Amino acid sequence: MKKDHQNSGIGFNGIVGQEVPVRVLNHLLASDRLPGTLLFSGPGSVGKYATALTLAKILHCDRVKTGYCDCRSCTAIRTGSHPDVLAISRERTVGVEEMREIVALAGLKSSRGQERLIIFDRAENITVQAANAALKTLEEPGAHIRFVLVTDTPEALLPTVRSRSYRLRFSLVSQENLLEFAQAAGDDPDDTDTLKAIRFASGRPGLYLRYRHSSEYREVINSTGTWLTGILNSRMVPRIQDALDWKAEFWDYADKLSSAERTMNLPRGGDADDVRKFFESPGKYIVQPANWRIEGKASSEKRWGQGRKAMLLTGLLRRILSMEMNRKSVTAISRLYDFMEKLRYNCSFDIALERLYYGLTGITG
């Protein structure tokens, strides 16, 4: 059963500040040329995952309307229980056995006669073996199945995966758009906490929500900032023991940050409409789109490995430094970029952290 995407479902009204990818998606839907595999790339926390879920709602919505929708299909997508929409969590590695199971699911036609959509949040967490196992399906998914790969680091994907995907680039949103998003969440645009969160988020709506609405996250940010300042302002000549202490502290802060990210009760993947409804009824309006059939089988050791935690903390350190740009912070940011590149190329954590420590303590000016 083919749906008329122009005259059914909700629209992308709740996606703030991403006019270009939204315009392209609307054109592809209107012309009935939506590709089988889409690649949403760009900075983290700017709305890529929310756009993928909104696309799922457009493909499956039971009603003809725009804006917020509480129909059976849209509700099931938002809560991770729709039989034809599989959202794979960003928190875990996807191995070859899981990928084979997902590919097998992709081969099954929907009992409702609708298109099946599989969304990989943080697609860079797909292992090389798993990606190779899915190449044929990604290249020719069939008329009844579509894939959306969501990633902050498209270069981490296999070239063969990138070449088989239709890429849409997302960008940081403007301060004006971020203020619009804050108002959509029900926050006072003139409130000091709102303005501070907007400044910290630097064009990332998801980061704004975390900083503005999670006290645990703010505590980690503040303590991490104090720790980083102490390192940059240290007047002592670093010793080997200092480097060892630094590594222990680094992993301690990385654990705290990843814990705050995992446990905060915020609408992950929600657009502006979902965010507003969530804060109006946090106990009733659930925004948990990761599909329970797949997520329930993920073992705990596949979640939040060392590399993921290190990249998460390094990104936070860069954002803290970018809030007060001076010669020292610019140099420190370049050291952090270098550290992240080493991690991407599988450099030893111990060696990379030691180089980062001596690089940060050696900054003057």
246-291 per-position pLDDT tens digit:
999 999 999 999 989 888 888 888 888 899 999 998 788 988 888 6
Q: Which of 31-40, 100-109, 122-131, 305-314 has the lowest mean pLDDT?
A: 100-109
Domain annotation covers residue 362 = yes
Question: Same structural domain for residues 84 and 156?
Answer: yes
Domain that holds residue 224: 216-263+299-365
Spatial strand order of the sheet with 145-151 comes to: 85-88, 116-121, 145-151, 37-41, 166-169
Question: Same structural domain for residues 156 and 38?
Answer: yes
| Closest of 66, 63, 120 to residue 94, by C-alpha | 120
Domain annotation covers residue 28 = yes
Question: Same structural domain for residues 145 and 220?
Answer: no
Task: Give me the mean pLDDT over the 52-58 stretch.
Answer: 93
Question: Same structural domain for residues 148 and 247?
Answer: no
Domain annotation covers residue 207 = no
Question: Same structural domain for residues 163 and 248?
Answer: no
Question: Same structural domain for residues 40 and 109?
Answer: yes
Task: Report the distance separating Cα 178 and Cα 306, nearest Å.
Answer: 31
Domain annotation covers residue 154 = yes
CATH number of the domain where residue 103 is located: 3.40.50.300
pTM, two decimals, is 0.88
Task: Give me the mean pLDDT over the 294-320 stretch.
Answer: 74
As for how many domains the chain has, the answer is: 2
6-15, 196-205, 228-237: range with highest mean pLDDT: 196-205
pLDDT tier, 6 (very low <50, low <70, confident <90, very high otherwise): very low
Domain annotation covers residue 359 = yes
CB distance 232 to 331 below 8 Å: no
